[in-house]
Structure 1
Amino acid sequence: MNGTTSGGDVRLTGISRTYGAFTAVHPLDLTVPEGSFFALLGASGCGKTTTLRMIAGLEEPSTGTVHLGDQDVTRLPPYKRPVNTVFQSYALFPHLDVFENVAFGLRRRGIRSVKKQVGEMLDLVQLGEHARRKPHQLSGGQQQRVAVARALINHPKVLLLDEPLGALDLKLRRQMQLELKRIQTEVGITFVHVTHDQEEAMTMADTVAVMNGGRVEQLGAPADLYENPATTFVANFLGTSNLIEAEVASASGDEILVHAGGAKLGVPAARCTGPTATGARLLLGVRPEKATLTPADRAGEIPEGRNRVTGVITEASFLGVSTQYLVDGPAGKGLSVYAQNVDRDPGLAPGAEVVLHWNRAHTFALDAAQDIDAGTGPAVTGTPDAGAATTGKEAASG
């Protein structure tokens, strides 16, 4: 990008970080558009925090450059960069009240008249009436907002957020997700947010970079990553995916037909990132909320043209707004379906023979050479009620 178009973009070019024989971040090129809310998402040890720290100047890159707009800041110390960082620990001064915590950066720069600026910033984070309270008199969410106000009052070009909501309980974390998005929209500066929480990234960010093993696995808008994962890691890490081993039967026009578990299934050619030659191996994917269960004795009610596989319900878990069913069959074990609890079907119970079916357009296909279980792990946050993006196969916290 040239100077006339890069504006206040954050541009990482060939940036990497090694510690002896260990590579924390492999060489990567990444552009964070000016004014965007950008998330670096991944499990513990994926390199996301190291990448953020290189932008902040807290880590020196082993290779590559960091540009903020037209300025090469690669060798500048943190205090000379137009960035501020908000950490999970908040790092507020316990002996100063809210007003003085926010005013700290201005006073350190020798600005004497701070009342108007601090007042405006406290109004932005909706803490004006708490100006004279000490940090210990505030809730965790309020302390986090003080930390954001203290960072923003210096008018940085970029605000870096390192797991900023990790210490909050689930309900407060969800409130703060919306609050941070509102603040970012109002101030219009670039936010770069590091998180291991899939729901958090998808709720807040315009663009998400999914990191794995020190590399960016996939980059895009949250909805695009969720609907069109390019790898098994992204398919599993961003929520839950049913991945079914399949073999290409034929490929013509806009659709690829495959054999899987004794059934013939279709996938749009545009949603296949794997090989399409006859006999090639694919992993067919469908999200659990896109699938429907019908008792086998009512299979005739299923509309023509839908993908369908047979099986037996092995488990049914009531989750509030939905019920999660697990199905074992020729196409695979533990296939997951989320059914909204509107009109619960008494025929759907453990032991019932069922047909699992879905619209072919909701199918995606990946190269079967990948690890089918990549990106799976214990759930980190959220509840199943929040939808498929927060349940099932999720990565470890960190």
Structure 2
Amino acid sequence: MAGPASTDVSGDLVLSSLTKRFGPFTAVDGVDLNIPQGSFFALLGPSGCGKTTTLRMVAGLEQPTLGEIRIGSRDITYDKPYRRPVNTVFQSYALFPHLSVWENVAFGLKRRRSEQVDKQVADVLELTELQALATRKPGQLSGGQQQRVALARAIVNKPAVLLLDEPLGALDLKLRRQMQVELKRIQTEVGLTFVHVTHDQEEAMTMADTIAVMNAGRIEQLGAPAELYENPTSTFAANFLGQSNLIRATVRHRQADSATVALPSGAVLVPASRLPGGVDEVWVGVRPEKISVHGEAAHGGAGGGDAVHGGAAAPAEPSMGLNRIAGAVVTDASFMGVSTQYLVRTPWGQELMVFEQNRSSAGIHRPGDRVSLTFAAEHTFALDAGQDSEAGIELDAEATG
């Protein structure tokens, strides 16, 4: 049998036209990715999107139908799993129950007859804060501790790429958030390329330098977390990565820096850079936390087409970059501690989601209150109205794709 893979392979992980078909079903459809060496990269998507199949092809657990996988100058497309400079951490951890923490971490090094096994294991146990648990068996550890042992066992082998397949999925919410910070710290310290598969948007945004949002076997959008969140390029990305209010609108005037778009009632400004070209019918998007809620005078009209500001008609066009929807009514208010989550019905009947920070109990609005909504023009984006406004909303995200 051939020996284990060399650990001196380095370079970017490159996927070229990577495709996987299972009979007539295409699970991964021509994926092209360049994952920089030393980065923390996340493949994010719902169940069935192809993210886990992509990871399994990189690991060598599935053979591509088409395409190529390279690490630096080395083509690993058809290498056996044990010949690849790649290690995987699974959700189940797959620890040896009869071995101690130290023995679990040392297993791969001993199998390869590595030198200075004691020092390498000691170093990685220190990195993962497991020194005090070295003699315990996996059954004596908490879920978070077992996760760190699985990570230590993978890192100690110094792979060129570490694959993480929903590694935090078995942990409770509080521990999962703690481990998100720990994983990012460890990745930064060891400098390995981490490729993390997850359906959890918060998890991806917390840890990753770059996120690829996957949908139906393809990359829907690729970029830094803040860029994806602030500038989604499809309704799927807008809805799956966080929550979005999408309002049907018509482009009225295009200027150099911004465009005026007509809502069913009133108009708003959208930055020209966030407006799709070649279409006049758009979805205007704004995130719930970007909206502010303001009380209106009791006599302002809620059902008409005119915007209302303190009982007086507002200008037909927005001004000074502050968008405003008047004549709305609070239909639900949920106190969440640091914030209140509102559902607000617009004059045209659509309910918008608003998350507003609680600064004082007196400032909380109640169901039935007449309000207006404001949001900065630079916080809006626009998408082609030919796309499904509900794409990416109701998806089963319990299982990996």
Structure 1 counterpart of 2:225, which letter? Answer: P
1:197 aligns with 2:200: yes
Residues 368/332 of structure 1: CA separation in 2 closer, same or farther (3 Å cut):
farther
Q: Which runs of 4+ in 1 moved over 4 A?
A: 300-304
Deviation at 1:336, TM superposition (A): 0.8
Gaps of 5+ in 2: 1-8, 299-308
Take 1:332 and 1:180, find their aligned partners in 2: how far apart are those partners? 45
Checking the alignment, whether the CA contact within 8 Å between 1:295 and 1:347 is kept in structure 2 is: no
Pairing of 1:347-362 with structure 2 (within 5 A): 348-362=365-379
Q: Give the Cα separation in 2 of the matches to 1:191 and 1:227.
A: 24
The equivalent of 1:40 in structure 2 is 43
More displaced 10-residue stretch of structure 1: 111-120 or 300-309:
300-309
Larger radius of gyration: 2
1:209 aligned residue (190, 207, 212): 212
- TM-score w.r.t. the length of structure 2 is 0.90
| Higher mean C-alpha deviation, range 365-374 or range 291-300 | 291-300
Decide whether aligned partners of structure 1 residues 331 and 191 sit closer, same or farther in structure 2, where only a CA change above 3 A counts. Answer: farther
The offset of 1:331, in angstroms, is 4.8
**Does the Cα contact within 8 Å between 1:274 and 1:365 map onto a contact in 2?**
no
Q: Is the 8 A contact 1:275 1:281 kept in 2?
A: no
Contact 1:377-1:396 within 8 A present in 2 as well: no
Output the amino acid matched with 2:171: L
Q: Secondary structure at the match of 1:39?
A: strand
Structure 2 residue identity aligned to 1:167: A
**Cross-structure match for 1:323:** 340
1:313 equivalent in alignment to 2:330: yes
Contact map agreement 1:274 1:282 (CA 8 A) in 2: no
Q: CA deviation at 1:7?
A: 5.6
Identity of aligned residues (%): 60
Residues 20, 28 of structure 2: 8 Å contact kept: yes
Render the CA deviation track for 1:54-98: whole Å, top value 9, x for unaligned.
Answer: 111111000000001110001100000000000000000000000
The alignment partner of 1:342 has SS state of coil
Residues 15 and 70, structure 2, Cα contact 8 Å, conserved in 1: yes
Kindly tell me: are residues 209 and 133 of structure 1, through their superposed partners in 2, closer, same or farther at Cα, counting changes over 3 Å? same
Question: Which residue of the other structure, out of 247, 251, 255, is the alignment partner of 1:252?
Answer: 255
What is the match of residue 136 of structure 1? 139
Aligned to 2:291: 291
- Following the alignment from structure 1 to structure 2, what is the Cα–Cα distance between the partners of residues 111 and 12? 31
Please name the residue that 1:96 is paired with: 99
Aligned to 2:222: 219
Matches within 5 A, 1:11-30: 11-30=14-33
Distance 1:33 1:263 in 2: 46
Do residues 268 (structure 1) and 305 (structure 2) align? no
Distance (Å, rounded) in 2 between the aligned partners of 1:259 and 1:331: 13
Separation of aligned partners in 1, 2:153 and 2:201? 27
Change (3 A) 1:84 1:265: same
Task: Report the RMSD for the aligned CA atoms in angstroms.
Answer: 1.9
Amino acid at match of 1:269: A
**Distance between the aligned counterparts of 1:260 and 1:158, measured in 2?**
48
Q: 1:326 & 1:99 partners in 2: Cα distance?
A: 53
Q: Following the alignment from structure 2 to structure 1, what is the Cα–Cα distance between the partners of residues 200 and 12? A: 25
SS of 1:94's equivalent in the other structure is coil
Aligned to 2:385: 368
TM (norm. structure 1) is 0.91
Deviation at 1:275, TM superposition (A): 3.5
Matching residue's letter, 2:160: K
In the alignment, structure 1 residue 339 sits paired with structure 2 residue 342: no
Q: Secondary structure at the match of 1:350?
A: coil
Q: Which amino acid aligns with 1:147?
A: A
Give the whole-Å Cα distance in 2 for the aligned partners of 1:242 and 1:215. Answer: 25
Greater CA deviation, 343-352 or 112-121? 343-352
Matched residue pairs, number?
375
In 1: Cα distance, 2:385 partner to 2:226 partner: 23
| Partner residue in 2 for 1:166 | 169
1:132 counterpart SS class = coil
